[in-house]
Amino acid sequence: MAAAATPNSMLLHRASPKAAPSARVPARAARIRCQAVAAPAAPSPLAAAGERGVYNFAAGPATLPLSVLQRAQAELVNYRGSGMSIMEMSHRGKEFDAAIKKAEADLRALLAVPDTHEVLFLQGGATTQFAAAPLNLCASPSDPADFVVSGSWSDKAFKEAGKYSAAAVAWSGKAAKYTSLPADFGALAQNPGARFLHICSNETIHGVEFKDYPEPRNEAGLLVADMSSNFCSKPVDVSRFGLIYAGAQKNVGPSGVTIAIVRKDLVGRAQPITPVMLDYKTHADNASLYNTPPCFAIYICGLVFEDLLAQGGLAEVEKKNQHKAGILYDAIDASGGYFVCPVDKPVRSLMNVPFTLAKGADYEKQFIAEAAKEGMLQLKGHRSVGGVRASIYNAMPLSGVEKLVAFMKDFQARNP
């Protein structure tokens, strides 16, 4: 039986054009004429559609700006008149040299990165930085380091750092199922002798985000942040951090490149056991070109940085993100408990919105399946926590969030 239409269901569908009735044509003797014609050029799927027809709510790799994909598509075979794709040209040639330098310059402009900090384009994902950070910032494995464990990723960082430092937990949100952050940063159990204090600025799985940052009380005053899932989503005072690192595949590019912003005076102090590819000095001394870098991924990042600058910079981007997240959280909170976000309101993420359905896991599966049929993809929560998760990074258009909210209201009306 067809489901009853609801006011919100009307927003989810466009009327399909009706096929014209076929007319009867009197039979005629067949006449065949052969004429050579040029085959029509295949239209670009992106250009023809204008929009892609779906909204990708994946946590990463994640949606990229359509304009960036279209520009990359146009330049793919013949990069700016070079006769080569950027994927096949030398990373030491003038074309890629210009591309990586432009990407760094635009990132510095976006985040107002001071001259006191290096910008490095690395590989291995943020997970590799869980080891690289203590290897570069601790003189020996016996040096202490403090960690705020606010979710799965900061917990992984803490455990990995324990191999290369005397890592300790300054605060943990595990007892509250990672739905909160410290209410009082002054209450963090920091060790004055620690080499750094580490945080994850936005927990992708659990949806908690730092709105401000704790002051490190260690002697060096070093604050380290994994910013993978909210990197370039808002302005950040980079001068407050000794090290920022981020996998690009959430907000600024495809998978394959990791960005590190590290204070220059911290470079060159790596432990003797540090592998050459994890030593920040290796990459700082070679302008991120010690070995072949992920050229195409860096190029895409550069296009994204240009796009963010064209939007007016990160202050404007943050306003858009606040608006999108506000619409979604308001819909959850106004559902009368039908949809539930477990995260404390003051620390709800603008990037990753986890929620559950009060009616249970079966209805969550139905919700995700029906949403996919409506062109809203990758809404399944992380396998470790279940539920639903909508990742609404910079490139998620407002229309995507509005369609999701309309679907949520429609689903609730059809499944009271």
- Phi, psi values for residue 399, rounded to 5°: -60, -30
- Nearest CA to 130 out of 269, 352, 298, 278 is that of 278
Query: 221 in the Ramachandran plot: left (φ > 0), alpha (ψ -120 to 50) or beta?
Result: left
234 is catalytic: no
343-369 burial, b if ≥16 CB within 10 A, otherwise e? beeebbbbbbbbbbbeeeeeebeebbe
Taking only Cα atoms into account, the Rg of the chain, rounded to an integer number of angstroms, comes to 25
- AA identity, residue 234: K
Distance CA 330, CA 336 (A): 11
Cβ pair 413, 8 in contact under 8 A: yes
Q: Which of 226, 279, 307, 410 is catalytic?
A: 226
Cβ pair 392, 321 in contact under 8 A: yes
Beta strands in 123-229 (DSSP E): 144-149, 166-172, 197-200, 202-203, 208-209, 223-226
171 is catalytic: no
Long-range Cβ pairs for the range 328-331 (8 Å, 24+): 328/353, 328/390, 328/392, 328/401, 328/404, 328/405, 329/353, 331/405, 331/408, 331/409
Query: 386 in the Ramachandran plot: left (φ > 0), alpha (ψ -120 to 50) or beta?
Result: left
Task: Residue 248: count other Cβ atoms within 10 Å of its Cβ.
Answer: 28
Distance CA 61, CA 6 (A): 34
Q: Which of 106, 143, 155, 250 is catalytic?
A: 250
250 is catalytic: yes
Q: Which of 153, 155, 234, 409 is catalytic?
A: 153
CB contact set of 174 (below 8 Å; sequence gap of 6+): 149, 155
Cβ pair 339, 372 in contact under 8 A: no
- What residues are labeled active site? 153, 226, 250
